[in-house]
Amino acid sequence: MIRSDTIVASATAPGRGAISIIRLSGPQCVQIAQTLSGKLLKPRIATFGSIISQSEVIDTGIWIYFAGPHSFTGEDTVEFQGHGGPVVTQTILHLMTHLGARLAEPGEFSQRAFLNGKIDLTQAEAISDLINASSVSAVKAANNSLQGNFADQVNSIISHLITLRTQIEAHIDFPDEDIEPQSINAFSLAITDIKTDIDKLVQSAHEGAKLNRSAEIVLIGEPNAGKSSLLNALARAPLAIVTDIPGTTRDLIRHELLIDGLEIRITDTAGIRSTTDIIETEGINRAIKALQAADLVLCLFDERHQQISEDTVQNLIGILPNIPVGLLNTKIDIHRKPINNQTRYPLLEVSSKTGEGLPEFRNWLLEKLNLTTHAETPFLARQRHLEHLKHANLHIKAADHHHVAVETIDLIAEDLRLTQNALSEITGRFTSDDLLTSIFSTFCIGK
Amino acid sequence: MDYTRLYDVIVIGGGHAGTEAAHAAARMGSDTLLITHSIEALGQMSCNPAIGGIGKSHLVREIDACDGLMAKVIDRAGIQFRVLNQRKGPAVRATRAQADRMLYRQHMRYVLANTPNLTIFQQPVSDLLIDNDQVKGVVLGMGLKLYSRTVVITAGTFLAGQIHIGMNQQSGGRAGDPASNDLANSLRGRPFRIARLKTGTPPRIDSRSVDCKNLQEQPGDTPTPYLSMMSTGDEHPQQIPCYLSRTTEKTRDIILENLHLSPMYAGVIEGVGPRYCPSIEDKIVRFADKPTHQVFLEPEGLNSHELYPNGVSTSLPYEVQLAIVRSMEGCADAIITRPGYAIEYDFFDPRDLNSTLESKIVANLYFAGQINGTTGYEEAGAQGLLAGANAALRAQDRESWVVGRDEGYLGVMVDDLITLGTQEPYRMFTSRAEYRLALREDNADTRLTEKAWTLGLVGEELWQKFNDRQEQIHNELSRLKSIWVRPLDPCTENLNRVLTAPLSKESTAHDLLKRPEIHYQDLVELADIGCHSDPSISSQVEILVKYSGYIDRQTDEIKKLKKNEQVRLPTDIDYSKIVGLSNEVKQKLLDHRPETISQASRISGVTPAAVSLLLVYLKKLELSHLAS
């Protein structure tokens, strides 16, 4: 869709690197920058400044304004180069959307650049691929955000809204029909209820936005396969006690690691295998739970394995989950004889001790976890959902504000339509025909 | 009729679409021929004797804003007028008129017979002359060929019409008129996508056999409203009331016992009927726990004893119809004058049309009315206007006319039809219009008259009236903006009694009117600033001021979307070549062949990502074109 609004996104991969760049594109970008920095930016001149919100300095860095068409997207563009960090970046994005920018869809900057003739023809296929890949990851991330309690509450709000709109629109479009006249008071109460529900959801969703876990990884391997050493190597600091006696990590151990500034939670487990040991059974049950919540599973093998078959893997992780699985040999420094991989999973080889292969392994991890620049994270998806909820909230407040006078029912209906449009951004399109279907299945219409 | 002449526009059909189409083309100066199977039946109301209603009256006003016929004719033929939703806000207010069928036909025929540039000829049409995917004229039932630059086809329910009463079926275009089977057969032989729809009508009752004493009377409004800008209210014939009867428990039992005799339930009818206008058997089955359904007894005319029982459309056998009617309140001794029936007919997939209602398959051929899958006189008339005007524009080699979703219900309807198609007879509802607040009955002229004038649709008299009205609205707005009220003015004390927050600073009357709690009438009286002499002007001004916030927001939204309207998708685009589109989306785009990016985005299943891919593909085409 051609949209001429102002979009914003982090231009650097989440967490990676020493600086973070936030990019705004569209007609409002200079104005937003001016509000946040208190400075009037001049084209192509780097301006040192802070981002201040409620007299608190959020971050300090460099602002650069590229006036369209001489910018990456061909529109007016502003970049802020700051110190970054996930929390600061999110706060800044939040401030900017509050001032009228919209979180960019994945790939939207490149798309605008292409449509404005800033990227040449040879890139067309690449842009198409990018849009495709991004929309796949966006759908996945949105599904992740739309789970459990949050989804239940959103759906309940939408269903109340549809019921109310069905009543009001039937009241408008079929005045001569045999419809039990709903009192205006009942409409009023229903509007207030929906407003309260949206308010509550926005609040709790904010509190619960501890979604900034970037990813969950489960590490499975036989005792002494090198899990703890790997963790230490990845974290570049001792985390788990590393000994040579098998069984040290019998219980589940959770570690929160920062890899390239990204928070990754790793659960360390001995694997799923049948045992009579009560303590170990409990450990295995926990491992199964951890597997269900995981984004990725890593199976560790060492020099004791000459070959790995599908059975070997299944013995370790039980029923194969629908998430990426990687096989990992962590001790290539000890044993150089190649392992024969007969499974469909990739085998990655590193040395926790010397660090050999670790950079490649990290990149593989980030890619599999969808943490590359263009991918949508569940956190971002939730941010989008929250924004739509806030828009919905504005409109339902307007409806509530009308004190539901009979004579302005057309205005209230409009506010409710806008509320529904905002919510539809979360759960999918609700058309006027869907509304009519609801009316016809609720009421006996037919003069 | 001169068979040697090359007409500019030939209109097939003299129903509500055909008459508007022919009149529009003739108004624009095109040499127009209207061919009907019966001159007596011009402007015939085949179903209920009423014009207008929610959503529909908006269309009637839009036709009127372009100087069309429907509003003017109903103002002379209406025998009961009401404004619906009077107190639900101006955007959803709608006028509805009961019609005297005979008067309606008479006036329609009189106007058409006296229209310059318009020739009327009675003959069935059996085929179209098509050469190289372009229409050249028509073949008449008697074998004669007539040539024209453009053809508008408005065949209503006549194409392969099949009438059902009980298990009995016969061919017919409506009760008493033959179907157009030759034309249907020849059209079926061409590459149009054709499907079947169904609609129904109730039996008619002799009013002398109904006991109205205990039925609720439903009088018209006083003063009697009118629909045309050119009317004054003096055109109305005598006004008479309707009555409200109800079905009873007995009605329900009769229907449930005889359901196996209904062609709908016995599976004889394949066409899909409208959900909003179900037969009485449908209502009883679908809403089984509802003990009674209302039935409006609507008079068919001043010189007719027939009543139209609105609400009991049925295709059950005659014996059952009689039992049903006699089980209704006040109808124990009722006599049926004509049986009710269901009718199935061919309709043409409107996705094969573009937004001027021209066929995408055969050039210079336009489709309007029920043939496009709609229902209702108003829907048909509005399409007729658009198709007739565009046929004339084509014949005159002028640029075509498209009505946007933001400009009128006509635009909403045509866009819905051509982008989404329809699964049931399409009827207008206000909830279909996303810009409902801007598309009001009261401002159809502001939205359309100026454009219609440039097309040549609008006569001098209406144009004068329109300009005069616009000027008065403008002047009244300026006057309110120029009047200042100060907190210490003597009138402020009066005003404060009405205002929720007392006046704290100097304000204009215009600003005060923006407050929801104060109406124009209160304002001018309390502030003693005099009012405009024409209530329709002051009410227009009040709406403009009070709704300005919402309307400004909609205007912004419209502006943003305009960009997408302007990006056209080439008709020969090969969707299968677009990398990344899912097969489902490709198929949908192939089926719908949208004209613009905006239309594509409204097709269900076409995701924003798919639209992005389309845009990138279009840009790529443009760049490779530049490169070569």
Q: Cβ of B92 and A174 within 8 Å?
A: no
State whether B611 and A435 contact (CB < 8 Å): no
Least confident of A74-78, A177-181, B228-232, B274-278: A177-181
CA pair distance B348, B210, nearest whole angstrom: 41
For residue B560, list chain A residues with Cβ-Cβ distance below 8 A.
Answer: 3-5
Kindly report the nearest CA distance between residue B443 and chain A, in angstroms: 16
CA gap A275, A277 in Å, rounded: 6
Q: Calculate the average pLDDT of chain A.
A: 78
Query: How many Cβ contacts (< 8 angstroms) between chains A and B?
Result: 151
Q: Mean pLDDT across the stretch A378-389?
A: 77
Q: Do the Cβ atoms of A126 and A143 come closer than 8 Å? A: no
Helices (H) and strands (E) in chain B, counts: 20, 22
Pick the closest to residue B387 from B15, B124, B7, B17 (CA basis): B17
Predicted local confidence at residue A243, as pLDDT: 42
CA distance B309 to chain A (A): 9
Chain A contact present for B482, CB below 8 A: no
CB contact under 8 A, A131 and B609: yes
Taking residues A54-70, report their average pLDDT. Answer: 88
Q: What is the pLDDT of residue A246?
A: 45
Selected residue with higher pLDDT from B390 and A401 = B390
Residues of chain A with Cβ-Cβ distance to B522 below 8 Å are none
Which chain A residues in 397-416 lie under 8 Å from chain B, judged by CB atoms?
402, 405-411, 413-414
pLDDT value, residue A301 = 81
pLDDT-wise least confident of A234-248, A425-439, B463-477: A234-248
Number of domains in chain B: 4
Q: Check whether A249 has a pLDDT greater than 50.
A: no
Same domain, B28 and B156: yes
Q: Is the pLDDT score of B405 beyond 90?
A: yes
Q: Distance between CA A202 and CA A196 in Å, rounded?
A: 10
A197-219 mean pLDDT: 69
The residues that bridge with B462 in the sheet, in sequence order, are none
pLDDT-above-90 percentage for chain B: 68
Query: Do B483 and B422 sit in the same domain of this protein?
Result: no
Task: Fill in the DSSP letter of residue A377.
Answer: P
Cβ distance B607 to A135 less than 8 Å, yes or no, reads yes
Domain range enclosing B619: 567-627
In Å, what is the CA distance from B26 to each residue of B34, B103, B401?
A: 10, 23, 16
Q: How far apart are CA B129 and CA B142, in angstroms?
A: 15
Give the model's pLDDT for residue A271.
Answer: 59
Query: 191-230 in A: which are within 8 Å (CB) of B?
Result: none
What are the angstrom distances between the C-alpha of B16 and each of A63, B2, B3, B156, B379?
64, 25, 25, 9, 9
Q: Is the Cβ pair A105, B608 closer than 8 Å?
A: yes
**What mean pLDDT comes out for the span B88-97?**
93
Contact B25, B389 (CB under 8 A): yes
Separation CA A346–CA A327 (nearest Å)? 6
- Measured in degrees and rounded to the nearest 5, phi and psi for residue B122 equal -100, 115
Whether residue B237 sits in one domain with residue B256: yes
B348, B184 contact by CB (below 8 A): no
A28: confidence class by pLDDT, cuts 50, 70, 90: very high
Please report whether residue B562 resides in a domain. Answer: no
- On whether the CB atoms of residues B390 and B457 are closer than 8 A, the answer is no
Confidence of residue A144 (pLDDT cuts 50, 70, 90): low
CB contacts of A406 in chain B (<8 Å) are 87-88
Record: contact A417-B613, CB cut-off 8 A? no
- Closest Cβ opposite residue B275 in set A117, A177, A440: A440
pLDDT band at residue A208 under the 50/70/90 scheme? very low
Whether residue A74 contacts residue A117, with contact meaning beta carbons closer than 8 Å, is answered with yes
Amino acid at B94: A
- For the segment A133-161, the average pLDDT, to the nearest whole number, is 77
Residue A209 pLDDT greater than 50, yes or no: no
Last residue of a domain, one of B551, B583, B613: B551
Looking at residue B3, what DSSP letter applies? Answer: T
Residue A53 distance to chain B (closest CA, Å): 29
pLDDT, chain B, mean: 92
Mean pLDDT on A57-68: 90
Domain-embedded: residue B558? no
Cβ-nearest to A444 among B287, B560, B615:
B287
Judge whether residue A309 has pLDDT over 90. Answer: no
What ipTM score was computed for the predicted complex, to two decimals? 0.88
Residue B142 covered by a domain: yes
Among B455, B479, B501, give the residue marking a domain's end. Answer: B455
* Model confidence band, residue A297 (pLDDT cutoffs 50, 70, 90): confident
Helix (H, G, I), strand (E, B) or coil at B139: strand
Query: Which sign, positive or negative, has the C-alpha torsion B549, B551, B552, B558?
Result: positive
Q: Do A410 and B278 touch (CB under 8 A)?
A: no
Give CA separation, B100 vs A83, B13, B18, B78, B239, in Å.
Answer: 79, 21, 20, 6, 10
Is the model's pLDDT at A302 over the cut of 90? no
**Contact indicator for A379, A211 with CB cutoff of 8 Å:** yes
CATH of the domain at B468: 1.10.10.1800
- List, in order of start, the domains of chain A with CATH numbers: 7-119 (3.30.1360.120), 148-209+377-442 (1.20.120.430), 218-367 (3.40.50.300)
Contact call for A410 and B54, based on CB within 8 A: no
Q: Which of A4, A135, A409 sits opposite B88 (nearest CB)?
A: A409
The answer on pLDDT for A242 being more than 80 is no
Report the distance separating Cα B410 and Cα B482, nearest Å. 37
Q: Please indicate, yes or no, whether residues B128 and B27 belong to a single structural domain of this protein.
A: yes
* Chain B residues touching residue A437 (CB < 8 angstroms): 275
Count of residues for chain A?
Answer: 447
Tens-digit pLDDT profile for residues B355-365:
999 999 999 99
pLDDT tens sequence across B243-278: 999 999 999 999 999 999 988 887 777 777 788 888
Q: Are residues B340 and B350 in the same domain?
A: no
Q: Let me know whether B315 and B405 are in one domain.
A: no
Q: What is the predicted pLDDT for the residue at A244?
A: 42
- CB–CB contact B85 A115 (8 Å): no
The band of A443, judged by pLDDT with boundaries at 50, 70 and 90, is confident
If asked whether residues B114 and B216 sit together in one domain, one would say no
Residues B188 and B208 in one domain: no
Domain with residue B285: its CATH number is 2.40.30.260
Mean pLDDT of B76-95: 94
- Check residue A272 and give its pLDDT: 57
- DSSP letter at B174? B
Helix (H), strand (E) at residue A228: helix A227-235
Residues of chain A neighbouring B297 (CB-CB closer than 8 A): none
Q: Average pLDDT of B487-506?
A: 85
Burial string for A165-180 (b: 16+ CB within 10 Å, else e) reads bbbbbbbbbbbbbbbe
Kindly state whether residues B265 and B323 are assigned to the same domain: yes
In a domain, B181, yes or no: yes
CB-CB contact of B220 with B82 (8 Å): yes
* φ and ψ at residue B18, rounded to 5 degrees: -65, -45
Q: Does A122 touch chain B (CB under 8 A)?
A: no
Residue B496 maps to a domain? yes
Asked, as a colleague might, if the bond just before A27 is cis with ω within 30 of 0, I would say no
Q: Are residues B422 and B480 in the same domain?
A: no
CA atoms of B30 and B460, how far apart (whole Å): 18
Whether residue A52 lies within 8 A of chain B, CB to CB, comes out as no
Specify the CATH number for the domain of residue B600. Answer: 1.10.150.570
HEC per residue, A48-99: EEEEEECCEEEEEEEEEEECCCCCCCCCCEEEEEECCCHHHHHHHHHHHHHC
Return the structure tokens found at A353: 């001790």
Same domain, B239 and B360: no
Identify the band that residue A58 occupies on the pLDDT scale cut at 50, 70 and 90. Answer: confident
Q: Is residue B557 part of a domain?
A: no
Q: Does A289 have pLDDT greater than 60? A: yes
User: How many percent of chain B have pLDDT more than 70?
Assistant: 100
Distance from CA of B307 to the nearest CA of A (A): 15
Task: Determine the pLDDT at residue A236.
Answer: 61
A114 touches chain B (CB under 8 A): yes
Partner-chain residue, chosen from B278, B434, B579, that has the shortest CB–CB distance to A446: B278
Measured in angstroms, the CA of B556 and the nearest CA of chain A are apart by 12
- Per-residue pLDDT at B434: 92
For residue B401, is it within any domain? yes
According to the model, what pLDDT value does residue A194 have? 93
Percentage of chain A modeled with pLDDT above 90: 16
User: In the numeric block, which tokens belong to residue A380?
Assistant: 């971002």
| pLDDT, position A345 | 85
Does B208 have pLDDT greater than 90? yes
The pLDDT value given to residue A241:
41
State how far the Cα of B244 lies from the Cα of B529, in Å rounded to an integer. Answer: 45
Contacting B residues, span 178-237, partner chain A, CB-CB under 8 Å: none
Mean per-residue pLDDT for A154-165? 92
pLDDT over threshold 70, residue B493? yes
Q: Does residue B333 lie within any of the structural domains?
A: yes
Residue B404 shares a structural domain with residue B535: no
At A357, the pLDDT band (50, 70, 90 cuts) reads confident
B608 at interface of A, judged by CB pairs closer than 8 A: yes
Which strands sit side by side in the sheet containing A20-25, from one edge to the other? Answer: A47-53, A56-66, A77-82, A20-25, A7-10, A102-103
Q: Which two tokens stand for residue B463?
A: 């144009």
Contacts of B294 in chain A (CB under 8 A): 177-178, 447
Average pLDDT over residues B416-445: 94
Range with the poorest average pLDDT among A231-245, B106-120, B384-398, B549-563: A231-245
* Candidate from B85, B88, B619 with C-beta closest to A114: B619
Q: Mind listing the pLDDT tens digit for each residue in A311-324?
A: 877 777 776 566 77
Domain boundary among B344, B379, B411: B344
How close, in Å, is residue B281 to chain A by CA atoms?
11
**pLDDT number for residue A404:** 53
Q: How far is residue B489's CA from residue B480's CA, in Å, rounded to a whole number?
A: 17
Percent of chain A predicted with pLDDT > 70? 75
Q: Which of A269, A234, A271, A241 is nearest to A253 (CA)?
A: A269
- Chain B residues whose beta carbon lies within 8 Å of the beta carbon of residue A433: 420, 432
